[in-house]
Amino acid sequence: MQFSGIFKTLSESTLVKISQDSLLWMHDYTGLPWWSVIVLTTIMMRTAITLPLALYQQYIFAKVENLKYEMDEIVKEMKIETNYGIYKYNWPKEYARRLYNHSMKKQWNKLIVRENCHPAKASILVLVQIPLWISLSMSIRNLCYMLPKQDADAYTIYQQFTTDGFLWITNLTVADSFVLPIAMGLFNLAIIEIIHMNRVKELTKWKQYLTYFFRITAIGMIPIAMYVPSCLSLYWATSSAFGLIQNLVLLSPKLRRFARIPVTTSESPHPYWLLRERIISRCHFERKVKVSPKI
């Protein structure tokens, strides 16, 4: 099969080669059929890499959120000092505004350094998860299409893919046009809705638009998954299923305390009850759920 451009570059990249070699090692070491190797490798990778990073992300988010309340007190003091400067020393309003903004930025940076929780650190999950997802997708694609070298070993692996299926998918090189793509889409939508429904505070306009974007993306991935080999859609569905379980587990206050994630005002002490109530509310087409006294 001829391929060019970005697919060729990705297919021959070092990261994809490492992922591909890992899959081959897992298959040779365990002796499992390829569908099991794909599922097992996905679970192991996400457990060892993305789950700890997701906990770290939640830790950073919580620290930053709690700092905002401390910052509110500083803002009150700085406003008093700025107004005093305007009254006592006749500072021009433009000068006072610049001085106030500079002081606020300086104070915020001090708090961030003190707690070692720069918001940019939370992006490490995305910076790792996206390349991991792409590299595993490309490595599975390589094995399915006998890439990057179409030699005897590649052909042997391809033959294994044609017979190492499961249940209704007997050939992993053929697309599954229904079950796996729909399952992947539902898992991704469930992740988005869990995050959306388990909020305590109202979403800002920007976060609402972002939620709509993610919903559209989750739905848009379904037709793509319908046309790729089933080995790829199997990986995507497994990864999404793990993501769903991961997001449910991360709601647990006990796990969050075990991981030393600070308590915040946006964290519900009974997240699973809140989630259940909001699912019921969504099913009855209600816009808001009354918060129970036990929360």
Walk along the chain (295 residues) and give the pLDDT tens digit of each residue. Answer: 444 677 778 778 888 899 999 999 999 999 899 999 999 999 999 999 999 999 999 999 999 999 988 898 899 898 898 888 888 888 888 888 999 999 999 999 999 999 999 999 999 999 999 999 999 999 999 998 888 887 888 889 889 898 888 888 889 989 888 899 999 999 999 999 888 887 766 667 887 888 889 899 999 999 999 999 999 999 999 999 999 999 999 999 999 999 999 998 888 888 888 888 888 887 776 555 444 444 4
pLDDT of residue 10: 79
CA distance 10 to 140: 12
Based on its alpha-carbon atoms, the radius of gyration of the chain, rounded to whole angstroms, reads 25
pLDDT of residue 86: 86
139 Cβ neighbours under 8 A, 6+ residues apart: 16, 17, 19, 20, 22, 23
CA distance 41 to 266: 34
CA distance 275 to 197: 6
Structure tokens at 249: 């587990």
CA distance 128 to 53: 9
CA distance 141 to 52: 27
pLDDT of residue 58: 93
pLDDT of residue 282: 78
